[in-house]
């Protein structure tokens, strides 16, 4: 057991360092320098992919299910190999179109459809809830284990020294919300680029890999005599568990392996936080070159000791898997390595905090741009200081996103293993894949096809993955899983339309992708891209085609033209609505906003006939994080 005071002291010291780094990065940016304009920092920031799922959950998975934890990292490794073609195209488009989030990317591709932006935002928020719950659970449990290792489920969340009962998950949620606001939404003029946040994430990535490798070296070489001894001891003592080191077993079929790999490949590209760090916070396309091998190398190193820790934990706990998710923390504690345990706790906290901060900031930006802004424009806000209203809404969005994760944890997360909670979110993120990848390469893809595919994909995701979770936690009557919806056998959530014999992830992936992709293709072929989609198709599919441009490098201090404003408003309320807005009652609201903005032209003026222009909100109002980033990149 570690002294509570010591844990709090070390934690606050670490928070201080993180904040100092973030503050320094923001200050450098204000001075015209960039701390994160560096391929190594970019690569490290991508490692926000490794959350407490990696830090704690992988060991738990390796100890209970076996080698399938590797798919979560082998899939992204494969995907990273395609980045020079796929990610570079996404980054190029994101810069040229001033994209601010994955919702913005999808809606921009399909004619700046505000409906599509709203759909993606709602699904992204719902889909990421379990993932945030996972982080809260991991930090809360690791804290409990550190300060009160004898806690059982009845005595969790108790501080015996202070005789205080408290909900550590809620405290963690509030601390992480505060962090996210401080790093991602302190004020609007700096939130146009989150350089401080990215710098903090990069530092956290170093801390978590150092902590995990330190624990791995301690277990492998401190408690055992290297890898060989661990494997041999394990196979001698638990020969019946050899399946943990094999594939094609009952718990680890090849179909399961394939679907987990595919889900991870899609998740690493289309989880909102990954998209944000990869595309929106990218400074230079050339940084992708190092990330292509640097990111997989990071994944390799952080996974090197997962199996030794898992098997070592099993050997030292007589095969008990109850606490397998937290072997990495309990083993140093059990063998009196207090400082190592604190380092592991800080590493685990870093893994969780990075994910929660970037996710909540990315989702909050999406909520603000695609759900709140259209409403504000419709109701003609009378607020005198619109910028204050918007930044506060963004902060509120961050808090709401994190608290939704907390609610999920309270309702559903207590009983499930870490990896199982996270996989629900991974399958949700995979639903964005057809609309994004299809939109990059397929001219015929239409807004109606994308919307139908997304809606069907998410409905089936909810039915095949969330409904069984509700049943597991006692929320729903088990009869829906046993006998199907309304007693119809074909509607069993885990054996939909009679598809049986697969694990829950393969089953859900098959049906979500079948319906998502199927309807995306079918509706796209049956409909034609509308006029407002045509121009965007060219800008996305043919982004590498040279366009004749006239350089314009001076900052425009005049008020923006109506055409320029229409283009900006199209991001929030759609192309057609924005066109009518300029002549409608909303004009007053827009021009009110214009008084708080200045406009910066892009270096590339679009060809005649195009209404594309990008804006930089210098003062007061910047709902679309990244707009400034993109514009300043070009100017």
Partner 1 sequence: MKTDRKLPLKDAWVIWFMLGVVMLNYPFLHIFNKSTLLFGVPLTVLYFFIGWPTSIFVIYLFSKYLEHGTEEPLPKDQAERDDSGEAT
Are the C-beta atoms of residues 167 and 406 closer than 8 Å to each other? no
Residue 572, CB-side half-sphere exposure with 13 Å CA sphere: 24
Phi and psi at 112, nearest 5°, equal: 50, 50
Site residues (CB under 8 A) for partner 1, limited to 8-37? 32-34, 37
How does 372-384 read in b/e, with b if 16+ C-beta sit within 10 Å? bbbebbeeeeeee
Site for partner 1 in 505-564 (CB under 8 A): 544, 546, 549, 551
Question: Taking CB under 8 A as the rule, does residue 258 contact partner 1?
Answer: yes
Please give the size of the binding site for partner 1, defined by CB under 8 A.
55
In whole angstroms, the minimum distance from the beta carbon of 296 to partner 1 comes to: 5
Selected from 1, 603, 605, 611, the binder of partner 1 by CB under 8 A is: 603
Q: How far is the CB of 505 from partner 1 (least distance, A)?
A: 16
Q: Check: CB of residue 413 under 8 Å from CB of residue 421.
A: yes
Footprint of partner 1 on residues 87-126 (CB under 8 A)?
92, 95-96
Structural Rg of the chain based on CA atoms: 25
Report the C-alpha gap between 361 and 42 in whole angstroms.
18
213 binds partner 1 (CB under 8 A): no
* Least distance in angstroms from the C-beta of 153 to partner 1: 33
Cα gap 350→488, rounded to integer Å: 46
Q: Does the footprint of partner 1 cover residue 241 (CB under 8 A)?
A: no
Rounded to the nearest whole angstrom, what is the least distance from the CB of residue 294 to partner 1 in the complex? 9
| Among residues 4, 158, 491, 633, the one that binds partner 1 under rule CB under 8 A | 633
**Residue 176 tokens, joined:** 């992480």
Provide, rounded to whole angstroms, the least separation between the CB of residue 328 and partner 1. 19
Which DSSP state fits 604?
Answer: E
Contact call for residue 286 and partner 1 (CB under 8 A)? yes
DSSP 78-105: HHHHTTTTHHHHHHHHHHHTT--SHHHH
Among positions 202, 277, 307, 589, the unique one binding partner 1 when judged by CB under 8 A: 307
Give dist(CA 42, CA 601) in Å, integer: 27
**Region binding partner 1 by CB under 8 A among candidate stretches 283-291, 469-477, 564-572, 575-583:** 283-291
300 binds partner 1 (CB under 8 A): yes
Q: Yes or no: say if 147 and 139 are a contact pair by the CB < 8 Å rule.
A: no
* Residue 257 binds partner 1 (CB under 8 A): yes
Q: How far is the CB of 606 from partner 1 (least distance, A)?
A: 13
User: Per rule CB under 8 A, is residue 228 in the interface with partner 1?
Assistant: yes
Cβ-Cβ contacts under 8 Å for 611 (sequence gap 6 or more): 563, 566, 567
Q: Judged by CB under 8 A, which of 3, 40, 161, 232 binds partner 1?
A: 232
CA distance 462 to 357: 25
Closest separation between CB of residue 524 and partner 1, Å?
A: 25
**Residue 248 interacting with partner 1 (CB under 8 A):** yes
Question: Which residue, 543, 529, 530, is CA-closest to 612?
Answer: 543
Provide the minimum distance between the beta carbon of 291 and partner 1 in the complex, in angstroms, as a whole number.
9
Binding segment for partner 1 (CB under 8 A), chosen from 74-82, 111-119, 145-153, 579-587, is 74-82
Tell me the torsion sign for CA atoms 343, 335, 145, 2.
negative
Cα–Cα distance between 492 and 333 in angstroms, integer? 44
Answer yes or no whether residue 604 interacts with partner 1 by CB under 8 A: yes
Nearer to partner 1 (CB atom), residue 61 or residue 394: 61
Direct distance between the N- and C-terminal alpha carbons of the chain, in angstroms, rounded to an integer? 56
Question: What CA–CA distance (Å, rounded) separates 341 from 332?
Answer: 6
Tokens of 531: 């006029």
Nearer to partner 1, 284 or 576 (CB): 284
Binder to partner 1 among 5, 13, 20, 82 (CB under 8 A)?
82
* Cα distance between residue 394 and residue 404, in whole Å: 15
Residues contributing to the site for partner 1 (CB under 8 A) = 32-34, 37, 67, 70, 74, 77-78, 80-82, 84-85, 92, 95-96, 227-229, 231-232, 235, 242, 245-248, 254, 257-258, 261, 283-286, 289-290, 292-293, 296-297, 300, 304, 307, 544, 546, 549, 551, 603-604, 632-635
């Amino acid at each position: 057991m570690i002294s509570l005071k010591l844990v709090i002291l070390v934690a606050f010291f670490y928070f201080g360092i993180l904040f100092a780094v973030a503050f320094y990065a923001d200050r450098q940016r204000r001075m015209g320098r960039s701390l994160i304009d560096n391929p190594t920092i970019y690569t490290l920031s991508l490692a926000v992919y490794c959350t407490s799922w990696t830090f704690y959950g992988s060991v738990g998975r390796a100890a209970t299910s076996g080698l399938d934890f590797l798919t979560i990292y082998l899939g992204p490794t494969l995907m990273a190999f395609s980045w020079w073609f796929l990610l570079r195209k996404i980054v190029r488009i994101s810069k040229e179109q001033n994209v601010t989030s994955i919702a913005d990317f999808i809606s921009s591709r399909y004619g700046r459809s505000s409906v599509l932006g709203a759909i993606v935002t709602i699904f992204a928020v719902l889909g990421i809830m379990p993932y945030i719950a996972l982080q809260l659970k991991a930090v809360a449990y690791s804290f409990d284990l550190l300060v009160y290792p004898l806690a059982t489920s009845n005595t969790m969340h108790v501080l015996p020294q202070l005789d205080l009962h408290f909900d550590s998950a809620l405290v963690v949620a509030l601390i992480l919300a505060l962090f996210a606001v401080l790093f991602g939404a302190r004020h609007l003029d700096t939130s146009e680029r989150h350089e401080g946040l990215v710098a903090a994430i990069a530092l956290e990535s170093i801390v978590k890999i150092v902590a995990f490798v330190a624990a791995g070296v301690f277990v492998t070489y401190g408690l055992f005599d290297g890898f060989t001894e661990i494997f041999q001891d394990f196979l001698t003592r638990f020969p019946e568990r050899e399946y943990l080191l094999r594939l094609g077993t009952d718990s680890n079929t090849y179909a399961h392996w394939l679907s987990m790999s595919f889900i991870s490949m899609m998740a690493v590209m289309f989880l909102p936080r990954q998209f944000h760090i990869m595309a929106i916070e990218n400074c230079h396309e050339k940084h992708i070159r190092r990330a292509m091998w640097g990111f997989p190398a990071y994944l390799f190193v952080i996974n090197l000791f997962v199996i030794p820790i898992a098997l070592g934990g099993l050997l030292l706990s007589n095969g008990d898997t109850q606490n397998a998710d937290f072997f990495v923390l309990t083993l140093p504690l059990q063998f009196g390595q207090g400082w190592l345990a604190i380092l592991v706790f800080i590493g685990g906290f870093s893994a969780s905090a990075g994910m929660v901060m970037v996710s909540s900031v990315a989702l909050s930006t999406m909520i603000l741009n695609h759900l709140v802004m259209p409403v504000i424009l419709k109701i003609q806000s009378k607020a005198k200081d619109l910028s204050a209203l918007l930044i506060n809404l963004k902060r509120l969005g961050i808090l709401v996103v994190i608290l939704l994760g907390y609610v999920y944890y309270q309702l559903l997360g207590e009983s499930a293993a870490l990896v199982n909670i996270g996989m629900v979110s991974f399958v949700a993120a995979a639903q964005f894949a057809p609309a994004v990848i299809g939109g990059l390469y397929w001219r015929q893809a239409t807004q109606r096809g994308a919307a139908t595919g997304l809606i069907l994909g998410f409905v089936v995701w909810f039915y095949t993955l969330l409904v069984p979770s509700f049943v597991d936690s006692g929320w729903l009557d088990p009869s829906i899983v046993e006998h199907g919806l309304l007693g119809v056998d074909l509607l069993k959530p885990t054996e939909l339309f009679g598809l049986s014999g697969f694990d829950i992830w393969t089953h859900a992936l098959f049906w979500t992708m079948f319906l998502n992709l199927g309807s995306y293709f079918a509706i796209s072929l049956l409909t034609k891209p509308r006029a407002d989609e045509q121009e965007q198709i060219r800008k996305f599919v043919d982004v590498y085609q040279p366009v004749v441009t006239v350089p314009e490098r001076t900052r425009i201090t005049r008020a923006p033209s109506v055409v320029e404003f229409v283009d900006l408003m199209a991001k929030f309320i759609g192309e057609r609505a924005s066109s009518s807005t300029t002549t409608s009652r909303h004009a007053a609201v827009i021009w009110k906003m214009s008084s708080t903005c200045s406009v910066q032209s892009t270096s590339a003026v679009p060809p005649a006939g195009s209404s594309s222009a990008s804006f930089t909100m210098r003062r007061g109002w910047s709902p679309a994080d990244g707009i400034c980033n993109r514009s300043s990149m070009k100017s």
